[in-house]
Amino acid sequence: GEGGAAGAPAAGGADEGAPSEGGGGSEAAAAAEAATAAAAPIALSVADIERVLGPPRFEPRRDVARRITKPGIALGLAATVFGGETLFVEVEQVAGKGAVQMTGNIKEVMQESVKAALTWIRANVAELGLAKTASEALLNTTDLHIHFPEGATPKDGPSAGVTITTALTSLLTGRLVRNDVAMTGEITLRGLVLPVGGIKEKVVAAHRAGVRTVLLPQANEKDLRELPQKVLDEMQFELVSDVREVIRAALVPADVTEAEAAGSASGDGSEPATDDGRQVPLSHPLPSVPTGVP
């Protein structure tokens, strides 16, 4: 009798356990449903991302436009072991005795690019439209300071010649450099533009910075085959063989004043208007260069 009585609770305990199993099944189903819902894609807007991560720290296109706001500044491109980078060149002149100062942690090869650019400009002051007095000032009574920002980063290599020449020409002629153009290439004393390396990395760096027009040496056309198709589709290239072509393509037209051009510094792609409502074509058309290289 005692055995039967003792067994009854055990049986009852088994009955009580049955609903428990059913409850566990419901929990498992709910967990599976939750996992399925969690796996479903969630669409996030830009506003959602900014709420989570905060506002953008860098706005490359606007940063470029804001930095090129006066004559004497040009945007070059460099290739490093970590990939491509944009490279600003800034030039300023002060009263002096014709000295040239270079800062920005530049090495010997790049210093030679500076010297070649200066010699070409001195040999072509008449062609550049510089008055005789300006020429004498350049040679005798003006010091030039050529600066490569971010001095903590060493800079070297034979590919900044066209950028240095463009920045110098911009300063001496008072014409702004277009803020939607980047460039790379070396020059000779005769003004020829020589091919350089790292084209893929440099163009990708320009694309990443929001710049959509790149001036390249003619002999580097073959290197465009290495670019990702997405980059090719969104970029415009001008292939140049002479530094005069670079200057014509890179500088804002002479009839556009610095005040008129300042409206482009926002980098929003809009063209500023003059007092009479005329739109100023800062991004003057470049000769068409096919981007779909076979």
Q: Please, are residues 253 and 176 in contact by the beta-carbon 8 Å criterion?
A: no
Q: How many CB atoms lie within 10 A of CB 97?
A: 9
Angle, to 10 degrees, between the axis of helix 161-173 and the axis of helix 243-250? 60
Residue tagged active-site, from 159, 170, 200, 264:
159
d(CA 90, CA 199): 23
Cα separation, 260 vs 293, in Å, equals: 37
Q: Which two tokens stand for residue 66?
A: 């804001």
Quote the CA–CA distance of 150 and 165 in Å, as a whole number: 20
Q: Is the CB of residue 80 less than 8 Å from the CB of residue 200?
A: no
Can you name the residues that pair with 131 across neighbouring β-strands?
none
Residues contacting residue 282 through CB under 8 Å, at least 6 positions apart: 178, 179, 180, 252, 256, 261, 264, 271, 272
155 is catalytic: no
Q: Is 200 a catalytic residue?
A: no
What three-state secondary structure class fits 40?
coil
Q: Which of 113, 170, 200, 202 is labelled catalytic?
A: 202
The residues carrying an active-site annotation are: 159, 202
